[in-house]
Chains A and B, each alone.
Chain A
Amino acid sequence: MEKVYVVGGGATKIDEHWDLSLRDLMVQASERAINDAGIEKRDIEAIYVGNMSSGPLQGQEHLGSLISTWLGIPGVSAYKVEAACASGGVALHSAFTSVASGLYDCVLVVGVEKMSDAITSDLTSALIMADDQEYVAFTGASFVGLNALVYRAYMERYHVKQEDIALFAVHDHKYGVNNPYAQFRKEIKLETILSSPLVADPIRLFECAPVGDGAAALILCNEKKVRTLKHGSLIELAGSAVATDALSINYREDILTLKATRVAFEKALKMARIERKDVDLIEVHDAFTILGVIHLEDLGYARKGEGWRLVKEGEIEIDGKIPTNTMGGLKARGHPVGATGIYQVLEVLMQLRGEAGKNQVSEAEIGLAQNVGGLGGTVTVNLLRKVR
């Protein structure tokens, strides 16, 4: 396999962009990434588009051809890659494989989602497509509801209070303040979270990642192309892995463990030839506070039932044992679902380049992004290593 480098990144701010369409967002993020990389549009040989619900929410499929048309580079290989909320991460994985295989020298991957045009019930219908349409969506379950099942079971099994799990959102908002792309850039108090309306008991509104529009893009290149770019810093995509687990939680032996996280994480570590202790920062997929806690456990940073302690004891702060969600995570930075996986990697990129400003993790050299589709039906782990 060839080495793959992330040579550019760009994104739109995440917001309810009433004035920007799906294609506007994709193009904006892509052009920023292209500029950041210092390449020409025509250097791009392939485009991978990560997106979950352009069909149901915008009536638009065929995003590959759409973006090559709207960027003005028709002819290149381009197509949509989908894995629910892990679409960004898997699109990146596809992009990675295409360069690592030696097939392409330079590719663009862009994750995009436009959610705010839809009314809540329609959005809820679109998001439950991440689970089983015929037997789970059929029951009227919402995606929040399925996570609420896990949340309650977690509190009951490990005797953990909701207020300790909800802290994850407080953490995210603290770091969202200094992220120029973030949807929310204000801190939030625990009391505010705990008194926000119930969406699906026990999950409260402010424990959920917000609905927003956004796109984030990365440029991946091989060694040959990198040598023509004359960049100061160089960041390698050293590990990229995807794993699946049962689509719905009723098949799982333990509903409080996302097995695919462990599988993908181990694959990525092995590929990068490093160990867990070598990782300096992590971006985890906290679509809901409970997931943030569970991911810390499944990634092995805490024992089952103890993930919330890392949050409470400050171990996930930028100067803690395992800096986590250093730019606001899904809760504060935002979660335009198909784009999230790319936003996460972009944030790791910023950290490794030393461009994280007030959120900078000192001497960060290795960081990873864990991106989840559905309730763990897919997990991708993309791991970046600073070369120089």
Chain B
Amino acid sequence: MADAAEDQQAAPTSDPTREPVSELHGCPLTERRGHVVAHPTRERYVEVVKALADDGYTMCVDVTAVDFIAHPGRALPDGIDPERFEVVTNLLDLGGQRRVRLRVQVPDEDATLPSLFDVHPGTEAMEREVYDMFGITFTDHPDLTRILMPEDWEGHPLRKDYDQGMIPVQFKGVG
């Protein structure tokens, strides 16, 4: 699997107008103002997180997502096609005192991503929150249920196309 993925990465077309790109475990890496961001593909996501855990990134501090349906034209390195959702994972290296952020593109029509639970059990609640708020399912998650919204809630509130209903408030004695 690793070989196939490396073949995909093997022929990047360098475009000088785009952000400078280096590599981290075979995925494009950008660095701006001290923020290190890696862009693994969906298939290699868990593999990269495991490799990073071996490098010392032993703590997963945060998993969140962004729904880019209303803002498709964002800057991404070569070889990464923008999709509707982007799952953002923040890893922390306690010994080396450094951070790395992974941004994974997740398409709308198949909004699934492998769970990090086996590598970092602390992602259990965070992935449930992303599922609850964005409707992205995490395969092999031990207990993928809603966490903040009630169990029978319809829709995923942080999606940009979620209908923001308003409940009319009545004030006594006004108008």
**A joins B in a complex:** no
Chain B positions near chain A (C-beta within 8 angstroms): none
Residues of A within 8 A of B (CB): none
